[in-house]
Amino acid sequence: MQALQGPALFLAQFAGDEAPFNTFENIVEWAGNLGFKGVQIPTWDRRLFDLDKAASDLKYCKYIKDTLAKHGMVVTELSTHLQGQLVAVHPAYDDMFDGFAPDHVKGNPEARQQWAVDQLLKSAQASKNLGLTNHATFSGALLWPYLYPWPQRPAGLVEAGFEELANRWIPILDEFDRCGVNVCYEIHPGEDLHDGVTFDLFLAATNHHPRANILFDPSHFVLQQLDYLQFIDIYHERIKMFHVKDAEFNATGRQGVYGGYQSWIDRAGRFRSLGDGQVDFKGIFSKLTQYDFGGWAVIEWECCMKHPEAGAEEGVKFVNDHLIRVTEHAFDDFASSGIDNETNRRILGLK
């Protein structure tokens, strides 16, 4: 068995214009002083990372790795959550998702998509240059407005949506394959890949592409009331990344999964800092260890109450307390009789 690695921190929710969150050097020093051993880097935030350089300049990649090593850390993965979202956008969301794109492609969905694809292709090369094997992203969504089957969906709509989604992603997956990197889709509401069934539909549409894999984040399953432990049993061979994020679901007589258009603090399902929610992390760490997951336990802090710095500080201890030091031998090895095959056959009454 392999042991999970960690703790690591996804930097996206911490980047800012004030020190120590305003430069890569500053935020790495801050994270290292808290006890983190790795960071997951958002590729869209130029305060922390230059994707163009990482895709073309090995010296820049060495700078990234050396800066982390100085503080006892490594880069765990790169993330293109925002760019991946733009690979597939339903027109209803054009104005809102334009905020994820640079000014020169805003208001032009075709140009915006081409820019997003280019960002993914660069991320494949950047991951290779950094010696990484996994990459975090979103799938985007063409079908999300039709999630609930009323009005009744036209026959073939879902199939057409996944066929188009696959057509957009297969060239990207092929490039990641060329670079030796897995694409790990965060299974997430708002994406066409938001549960196991939709991931299966995508796999079928991509002919079960070997690079189409999963970023497992149990918080999104709590909000959907999905069995996240059984999900690991079913999909463990495709789970290559892990976000350690907590959540809670407290249904009332007035609202449930859909949340009644309320803000996060007033929703039945909401994200919480580690240990403040309902996720069974002992069960998750045990399941992942059982299935030989040797990847990183990456904290993604999102909480509607607690300060992010408090969440990061508490998260280091939380992950360390859940990491399992794997055994090197079976607990009952002391009672081994050392019987050979000949003796085994005699015990079974065989000649």
Report pLDDT digits (tens) over 159-200.
999 999 999 999 999 999 999 999 999 999 999 999 999 999
Q: What mean pLDDT do residues 317-329 have?
A: 90
CA distance 284 to 262: 29
Token representation of residue 91:
């027109």
Token representation of residue 318:
């939380």
Helix (H, G, I), strand (E, B) or coil at 337: coil
Whether this prediction's pTM lies above 0.85 is answered by yes
Confidence (pLDDT) at 342? 84
Q: What CATH number does residue 204 fall under?
A: 3.20.20.150
If one counts the domains in the chain, the total is: 1
The residue with tokens 């130029």 is 46
CA distance 210 to 222: 28
- Pairing assessment for the beta strands 269-272 and 246-249 based on DSSP bridges: antiparallel
Report pLDDT digits (tens) over 6-29.
999 999 999 999 999 999 999 999
Q: State yes or no: pLDDT of 334 exceeds 90.
A: no
Nearest to 140 by CA among 83, 178, 96: 83
Domain enclosing residue 302, as ranges: 5-347
Mean pLDDT of the chain: 96
